[in-house]
Amino acid sequence: MQSNKFSIYLDGLFYKGSGIGRYYESLLKGLARRGITVYTCVPVRLKRSFELDFKRYFKNIIPIYVNYEKFSVKSFWLQGKILKKIEKKVCLYHFPHINIPLYVPENLIVTIHDLRPFTKYWDRSYVKKKIYEWYFKKAIKNAKGIITDSKRIREEILKDFPKIEFKIKVIYPFIDDKFLDKVNNRNQCQRIITDDYILFVGSRKKHKNLSRLVVAFNSIKDIFPYLKLVIAGKKDSNKDNIGLLKEKLNIQEKLIEIISPDDEKILCLYRYAKVFVFPSLYEGFGLPPLEAMAYGIPVIVSNIPVLKEICGNAAYFVDPYSSESIAQGIYKVLYDDNLKESLIEKGKKRINDFNSDKLINQYIKVYEETLNAKN
């Protein structure tokens, strides 16, 4: 089946979310460039942003603007009605998360990014955990195909659900083109932080392990008196553990918080960072280290299985449970020019494994296999 001969539905309720939102945006763009017609539901509050990002460039992206959000009661009941209306126009439905509605289309594919809600790193209530568990079981039961971001997450799923092994395919997320077009981005980018800085990009959730990163930075700040720590990402409350630590350690001038930065600002932060540090305790994949590699930044990450799988030999690994190990890693990469250059060169090679054209081919293959299996 030719990829430009069929239409799909790609759920967009996570548009402008952090990790899953970026996954959705990159996949939508990649599929549209292949000539696939893509229907997508997007919250109406994001209409203007969506039009600027996609609609004016891609005539084969057909947005349906809705007045509800992901995992809302409205979405659970009303989303199915929309899917029924487009059944004659669409032959396959892909949900980039498990937020499937009451009515489930026949040719359904879901992406499971991680199993964090089943771990100690889930910082939501018991009730929300049970709701997530119900969605999860509904999704894996009804899906014709399941995509995971890494081999590690596939293994985790199969520990508890071995009977669905035949459904699961691993397709790595890919780096968005905006992080690869370095010449254009550098010409447009103005420096945000005047001093040298260490950078973290991502949410400030418990599993991101930012408290230990802050403590690690505090222990070396006097060795590098002009160095700052920049934490860029969304936070859930006015003052979280990072804000409290910032005051306790009296490093208000050293720790710079950039809340919910847009992509343009993130690109500029990558451009001028001295080191990128990603000390997570748990991940399903982890795009920011690859984005940093694409910008020629030496990367330090946690010594956890999934990040070893993703980063290969192109990162410096530290013990995420030890602030001292994180501090030593930062110190070594900053001081050892040979190590720094080696990481940069290995990073440039590593990102070739996450080429968008190659990975979009894998998505299209899964779509075609799903459709051919029906026929």
Q: Is the pLDDT of residue 65 over 50?
A: yes
Confidence band, pLDDT 50/70/90 cuts, at residue 58:
confident
What is residue 181's predicted lDDT score, i.e. its pLDDT?
Answer: 61
Give one DSSP letter per residue of 208-253, joined into a string: G-HHHHHHHHHHHTTTSTTEEEEEEE--SSSS-HHHHHHHHTT-TT
What is residue 124's predicted lDDT score, i.e. its pLDDT?
Answer: 76
Query: For residues 133 and 365, what is the distance between their CA atoms, to the nearest angstrom?
Result: 29
Beta strands in 67-107 (DSSP E): 92-95
Number of domains present in the structure of the chain: 2
Residue 7 CA: distances (Å) to CA of 21, 110, 139? 21, 17, 22
Q: Which residue has the higher pLDDT, 264 or 200?
A: 200
The two structure tokens encoding residue 331 = 């110190």
What is residue 344's predicted lDDT score, i.e. its pLDDT?
Answer: 97
Q: Is the pLDDT of residue 334 over 80?
A: yes
Is the Cα dihedral 233, 236, 239, 242 positive or negative? Answer: negative
pLDDT digit string, tens, across residues 214-263: 999 999 999 999 999 999 998 876 667 888 899 999 999 999 999 989 88
Is the same domain home to 331 and 364? no
SS3 of residue 265 by DSSP: helix
Indicate the average pLDDT of the chain.
91
Is the same domain home to 266 and 305? yes
Which pTM does this prediction carry? Answer: 0.90
Is the same domain home to 190 and 247? yes
What is residue 126's predicted lDDT score, i.e. its pLDDT?
Answer: 83
What is residue 94's predicted lDDT score, i.e. its pLDDT?
Answer: 97
Q: Is the pLDDT of residue 332 over 60?
A: yes
pLDDT digit string, tens, across residues 12-44: 999 988 789 989 999 999 999 999 999 999 999
Is the same domain home to 333 and 361? no
Tally the C-alpha atoms within 13 A of residue 224's C-alpha that lie toward its C-beta. 23
pLDDT digit string, tens, across residues 105-136: 889 999 999 998 888 888 778 888 899 999 99
Is the same domain home to 315 and 228? yes
Is the same domain home to 199 and 146? no
Is position 375 within any domain?
no
Q: Which residue has the higher pLDDT, 258 or 373?
A: 258
Tell me the one-letter amino acid at 245: L
Is position 89 within any domain?
yes
Confidence band, pLDDT 50/70/90 cuts, at residue 187:
low
What is residue 128's predicted lDDT score, i.e. its pLDDT?
Answer: 86
What is residue 2's predicted lDDT score, i.e. its pLDDT?
Answer: 46
What is residue 186's predicted lDDT score, i.e. its pLDDT?
Answer: 54
Tell me the one-letter amino acid at 351: I
Is the same domain home to 282 and 307? yes
List, in order, residues 6 or more apart from 134 with CB less than 8 Å away.
none
Is position 255 within any domain?
yes
Query: For residues 22 and 5, what is the distance between their CA atoms, to the nearest angstrom?
Result: 26
Query: For residues 20 and 26, what is the distance between their CA atoms, to the nearest angstrom?
Result: 10
Is position 197 within any domain?
yes
Is the same domain home to 81 and 151? yes
Confidence band, pLDDT 50/70/90 cuts, at residue 168:
very high
Percentage above 70 pLDDT, the chain = 95
Is position 35 within any domain?
yes
Percentage above 90 pLDDT, the chain = 76
Is the same domain home to 93 and 228? no
Give one DSSP letter per residue of 296-359, joined into a string: T--EEEE--HHHHHHHTTSSEEE-TT-HHHHHHHHHHHHH-HHHHHHHHHHHHHHGGGG-HHHH
What is residue 125's predicted lDDT score, i.e. its pLDDT?
Answer: 82
What is residue 1's predicted lDDT score, i.e. its pLDDT?
Answer: 42
Q: Is the pLDDT of residue 60 over 60?
A: yes
Is the same domain home to 23 and 99? yes
Q: Is the pLDDT of residue 164 over 90?
A: yes
Write out the residue range of the structural domain in which residue 150 sits.
Answer: 3-174+355-370
What CATH number is given to the structural domain containing 45?
A: 3.40.50.2000
What is residue 182's predicted lDDT score, i.e. its pLDDT?
Answer: 57
pLDDT digit string, tens, across residues 141-151: 999 999 999 99
Is the same domain home to 241 and 306? yes
The two structure tokens encoding residue 155 = 């293994």
Is the same domain home to 193 and 152? no
Query: For residues 126 and 144, what is the distance between their CA atoms, to the nearest angstrom?
Result: 29
Is the Cα dihedral 76, 153, 291, 37 positive or negative? Answer: negative
